[in-house]
Structure 1
């Protein structure tokens, strides 16, 4: 395919800094960069099916899982459509397979983008920093026993499996602009992305 847009997928736990990196990419990269991802999908989803693709790991809502899988498929088919139209896409998501049963969503999404240039970026952040950001943003912190809530622990454990990326960034030591610049250099100077090709083989 000719004149297809680049695709950057930012994968990480909630409050890891994906949205800020996506905004920096939109504001500073050349060309038109559209932003799709978990926040946009949640806004479009009826209340009865929330938290949409933001469903946290733990298998708490098996009734929602068939819908979640379809929403991911539609999201990635939309990404393909934007790229096919020559528009660049930055996507912020939190992929995990911590459902009541394995859904293999990441591999299915990688198969949809088989013919497209996809840079899969791991957005990492230590759990202590995640907790501080949750406290500052949502006024939600440790349990009454002083423990990290189990869902937060599960996000940290499962969001980076299998951990195959074209690039990883740590937002506890890098600003959103620094992260975006590293991604820009990766795209400009190569090598070509291979993460989704490896994930398709799993």
Structure 2
């Protein structure tokens, strides 16, 4: 069985990853959306935060292995996540290095991030700006989209066109420096 393709959307909070994922599932109906935000909810439900009974492993560790599990069964995924620190980045690359991944950078200007944070009301203002201190610094993407400059439909069509016209290698070619874990 061939591994399922993975479209991995990386961008800071409020950059448009989740909305873009939903747009992509309209164009690519044989792909399923998996979000780190949704996965966080599962982990939170397992934990007892009031009594400080927490799972002592970063959520991303389980998330990356779940992505691999779906791909191993031939399921195509659109994944939205934030590679926000060295552990998350290194674990993602290490876990998915033998998988067919299209690596997408999702960007938009800081002013727009802050406007979206205020509009949504469920994010700390400045969270996206703070994450930019790490995100997009060393990654080499297969494609970069700007969800402010271009419509979500345009961004999704560009990504879909790339995935439909090029065969993804069965092994992710990680083109950026990732220190050993």
Give the TM-score category using the shorter length. Answer: 0.7 to 0.9
- The superposition leaves residues 76-113 of structure 1 with CA deviations (integer Å, 9 ceiling, x where unpaired) of 1111111111110111111111xxxxx43212221211
Q: Distance in 1 between matches of 2:42 and 2:118?
A: 27
Matched, 1:168 2:151: no
Work out which of the residue numbers 71, 89, 93 in structure 2 matches 1:106.
Answer: 89
2:4 match: secondary structure: coil
Q: How many residues align?
A: 173
Q: Distance in 1 between matches of 2:159 and 2:94?
A: 23
Structure 1 residue 3: deviation in Å? Answer: 2.3
Matches within 5 A, 1:1-202: 2-31=1-30, 33-46=31-44, 67-68=57-58, 71-97=59-85, 103-138=86-121, 149=126, 151-190=127-166, 192=168, 196-199=173-176, 202=179
Any stretches of 5+ residues in structure 2 without a counterpart?
Answer: none
1:198 match: secondary structure: coil
Please tell me whether the aligned partners of residues 111 and 200 of structure 1 are also in contact (alpha carbons under 8 angstroms).
Answer: no
- The superposition leaves residues 61-90 of structure 1 with CA deviations (integer Å, 9 ceiling, x where unpaired) of xxx89532xx21211111111111111011
Please tell me whether the aligned partners of residues 131 and 141 of structure 1 are also in contact (alpha carbons under 8 angstroms).
Answer: no
RMSD of aligned Cα (Å): 2.7
1:104 match: secondary structure: helix
2:141 match: secondary structure: coil
Q: What is the TM-score when the length of structure 2 is the normalising length?
A: 0.82
Q: What is the TM-score when the length of structure 1 is the normalising length?
A: 0.74
Structure 1 residue 23: deviation in Å? Answer: 0.4
Q: Cα distance 1:66–1:120, how it changes in 2: closer, same or farther (>3 A)?
A: farther
Q: Distance in 1 between matches of 2:40 and 2:178?
A: 30
1:67 match: secondary structure: coil
Q: Distance in 2 between matches of 1:10 and 1:196?
A: 16
Q: Cα distance 1:65–1:174, how it changes in 2: closer, same or farther (>3 A)?
A: farther
